[in-house]
Amino acid sequence: MDDPILGNTWMKKSTSVDFVPSKSTNVESGNSANVRSVYVDVGIDGRVFGTGDLSRRMHDALMVVAGRRRGVGGDGIDGGDDVDDGLMDLYLLYAMDASAKEAVKAAMDGYGYVIDLEKDEDMQDEGSWGRIDGVMLLDRDDDDDDDDDDDGGGSSSSSSGTTSRTIYPSFAEAIARGNWKPGTGYSFVVREVPARRKAIDLGALLRALDPDGKLHAEARERGIILPGEEEEDGVNSLRGLLSDCERRVRSAPYEVARDESEAHRGGSSKGYDVISRRALLANSRDADGTENRKTLLHVMDSLANHGCLIVDLTDGDESTDDAYIMSEMWKTTSHFFDKVVDGEDGDAASRLPPMHIAEGVGSSTAMVGYASFKDGDNQFLETRLRRSDGALLPLETSSIIGEDGVRSMVDAFRIMSDVGRDVVRIATAASSVEAGAFLTEGSAVASSPRGVGGGSSPSIAGLSFEEKVISGIVDEGLGSEFSEEDAARRAKILASDAAILLTEEIMDDGRPLIVGRDIEHDEGPVSMSPLRICRYSNNNVDKFSRRKMTSEVFGAHTDTSFVTIIPAAKVSGLEVFDEDSLKWFRPELKARRHAKTLDPGGDMEARFPWHCRYLVIVPGELLQLTSRNNIPAAVHRVVATTDAPRLSAPVLLRCRPGTRMDVERYMGSPTRAGGLLLDSNGMRMEDIHDALQSKQDA
């Protein structure tokens, strides 16, 4: 038997098989883009999925059928005494297996997958839909395990949230040796379950064809209910966006945190690779003003498929100034917690204001101050920049870290926010190009299936396309008569320019809005984007082995930010749920490996530690909005060991309050915006932010 992880719900790709499981996913069918076949391993927490109650109802139904076949009157449930013992065991086995299959179906649905077999009848026999690799009965007295000392294959194990219990290798063993009865819950692991991504349903297809909701509105006026109309809004509204994020947080496997040696460090996909800081700069775009295709593909692959992008601030050791500044920030962070937590400055904590609403930000959810959680295991200082002079709030911070420390924190904030702006520019521009948002009405490209609906050419920063030709921003050759290739290139230029506008006017980097911008704004004196310094401690020791444990210290969540920029830490612990591998990915381990290739002898350590080179960019809910749902807000968490506290200093790059979402200005033709963007069009950015604030960020 493999080593199963019991007691939690999780799902990951099987490593024991690698071929396509079903004939139904023929590439020639034309559905290969929407259907993805794999084998998966699934762990089911029986308490979460109610396997006890489910199996009781399943068994009762079987007894009704059995009773009717034997001519037993009434409901047949109490007729089990007349059933042969061998046949009764088969009924028990079927009830257990069928209940398990329903639980697996429900779990896989949460991950966006379905069991992939030609017919449901193919799954009726035990084991035909997956290989059981461990069963643990619930609600049993621990002493019961002492009666199972025969050599039938059970083994003792323990898992998070449970006491030590016997693990049976199959359902049959759980029935025979564990005396399982219907109504007793059980957790289990099943491997090699054939699976495929859920195909788009008719309601979702109609929503894709009707992004601005006109068709649905007209149908409602006529009293017609279209498919999907009776369901949730989906990701066609801010409410749908919030629901999608909450669903994906719930669906992420709550598995026991692994040690570094066992953690997922990334794969061979280009999206796992480290990208240079230089590649992201606006002046690294192609000469014609379009985004560099290689960079664009790397950024989108990393964010959309793996949940984060790793950036090398040194460009492969060609420029080390930013890494040095980040090293000064890390020294300041360590110095702060030495004084506040470890007592080097006895009254330091008392000099800091407690966490409270930050005045002058423009949002009732924006906080500033110091807080301690989990009996002092987790400490946070929420800081913000005063817009007029760049001062770090709360001002009391300077009494602990000094003016040089304040300067190092502000300089690090500038570096991180600038990188975040460039990443958002690239992702937003790429999504606008994909949507055909800047294609000219009547062009061959705009008339293609991607460009249904047309739309006039939007202006950028108050300049019409003709004015941009005169100014030299785009080529004169792109006049009123131009080819399909020219139209596509022009659309890419406009998409990139509009994305730059968005990063300058909507994203809050702590600086005042650029003078002369003719937009409505009332941004307030304090930045909406915090720099949060954190200290995570872990005192979890296994009560049986007394071994130090790696544990989750900040639970899975998404952030209400465009991106959260997390400087790689010396002590790894950031984990991002990788949508492609279905594993918790620890990007700091990938960065560490990259650093060893740059500096194998550690020669640069005297100037700055290896981790000061790297930033990890995690997409948030606001980027899911501006990327038209192409980049989901990443589900992430923090784990830590007992060896040393984990320090962190993320910037949550948020929206500039007092400005409004203007789809046409920043995102192109409203007819191609989609329901999600249109739902936010015209809203004040702080209202969009607050609408997504039903959960806590980190």
Tens-place pLDDT, residues 305-356: 999 999 999 999 899 999 999 999 999 999 999 999 877 677 888 899 999 9
Q: Are 137 and 154 in contact (CB under 8 A)?
A: no
Residues in contact with 386: Cβ distance below 8 Å, sequence separation at least 6, in sequence order: 392, 393, 525, 526, 527
Q: How many CA atoms lie within 13 A of 449 on its CB side?
A: 2
pLDDT, tens only, 213-270: 676 666 655 545 455 443 344 588 999 999 899 989 988 887 777 888 889 999 888 9
Per-residue model confidence (pLDDT) at position 450: 35
Q: Is the pLDDT of residue 674 over 60?
A: yes
Taking residue 571's Cβ as centre, other Cβ atoms within 10 Å add up to: 16
Token output for 116: 């992939």
Choice between 359 and 206, residue whose per-residue pLDDT is larger = 359
Residues 437, 674: contact at Cβ < 8 Å?
no
CA pair distance 443, 579, nearest whole angstrom = 37
Contact call for residues 11 and 42 (beta carbons, < 8 A): yes
Decide if pLDDT at 456 tops 60.
no
Under the banding of pLDDT at 50, 70 and 90, the label for residue 550 is: confident
In the chain, % of residues over pLDDT 70:
74
Residue whose structure tokens are 């290989």:
131
How many Cα atoms occupy the beta-carbon half-sphere of 461 within 13 Å?
A: 19
pLDDT in tens, 468-487: 444 444 454 444 455 778 88
Tell me, what amino acid is at 340?
A: V
89-113, pLDDT tens digit by residue? 888 999 999 999 999 998 888 787 8
Average the pLDDT over 674-687 and give the result.
92
pLDDT exceeds cutoff 70 at 124? no
pLDDT at position 444 is 42
**In angstroms, rounded to a whole number, what is the distance separating the alpha carbons of residues 537 and 551?**
10
| Euclidean distance between CA atoms 246 and 231, whole angstroms | 17
Give the strand pairing for 563-567 and 574-578.
Answer: unpaired
pLDDT of 260? 87
Q: What percent of the chain has pLDDT over 90?
A: 48
List, in order, residues 6 or more apart from 578 with CB less than 8 Å away. 264, 305, 306, 307, 584, 585
Evaluate whether 417 touches 651 at the Cβ level (below 8 Å).
Answer: yes
Mean pLDDT (the chain) is 80
Please give the Cα distance from 208 to 672 (Å, whole number).
10
Instruction: Give the C-alpha separation, 77 to 90, whole Å.
Output: 16
Most confident of 119-133, 198-212, 498-512: 498-512
Please report which confidence band the pLDDT of residue 547 belongs to, taking 50, 70 and 90 as the band edges: low
Pair 564, 611: CB distance under 8 Å: no
pLDDT at 457 over 50: no
d(CA 564, CA 697): 10
Stretch among 156-160, 217-221, 629-633 having the lowest mean pLDDT: 156-160
pLDDT grade for 82, boundaries at 50, 70 and 90: low
Domain with CATH 2.60.120.330 in the chain: 238-419+521-654+686-691
* Structure confidence at residue 213 (pLDDT): 65
User: Rounded to the nearest 5°, which phi and psi values hold at 536?
Assistant: -110, 125
Residue type, 630: N
Q: For residue 602, what pLDDT band results from cuts at 50, 70 and 90? A: confident
Closest CA to 536 of 373, 424, 397: 373
Topology (CATH level 3) of domain 238-419+521-654+686-691: Jelly Rolls (2.60.120)
Pick from 663, 258, 125: nearest CA to 435: 663
Q: Which of 434, 416, 472 is nearest to 293 (CA)?
A: 434
Query: For residue 91, what are the β-bridge partners?
Result: none
Question: Does position 623 have pLDDT exceeding 90, yes or no?
Answer: yes
Beta strands in 546-645 (DSSP E): 551-557, 563-567, 574-578, 583-585, 614-619, 636-640
Q: Which helix (H) or strand (E) holds 44?
A: strand 37-44
Rounded to whole angstroms, the Cα distance separating 92 from 106 reads 21
pLDDT band at residue 504 under the 50/70/90 scheme = very high
Residue 587: asked if its preceding bond is cis (omega within 30°), the reply is: no
Strand ranges of the sheet holding 636-640, from the earlier edge strand across to the other edge: 551-557, 636-640, 574-578, 583-585
Whether residue 675 contacts residue 663, with contact meaning beta carbons closer than 8 Å, is answered with no
pLDDT of residue 682: 94
Between 323 and 80, the more confident residue is: 323
Query: Of the ranges 15-19, 384-388, 666-670, 675-679, which one carries the lowest mean pLDDT score?
Result: 15-19
Q: Quick one: average pLDDT of 628-650?
A: 91
What pLDDT score was predicted for residue 289? 93
Model confidence band, residue 383 (pLDDT cutoffs 50, 70, 90): very high
Higher-pLDDT residue of 373 and 72 is 373
According to DSSP, residue 684 is labeled B
Average pLDDT over residues 196-205: 64
3-state SS, residue 602? coil
Exposure b/e, 66-101, CB count within 10 A at least 16 = b: bbeeeebeeebeebbeebeeeebeebbbbbbbbbbb
Q: Is the pLDDT of residue 621 over 80?
A: yes
**Alpha carbon of 539 to those of 536, 574, 637, 648: distances in Å?**
10, 18, 18, 18
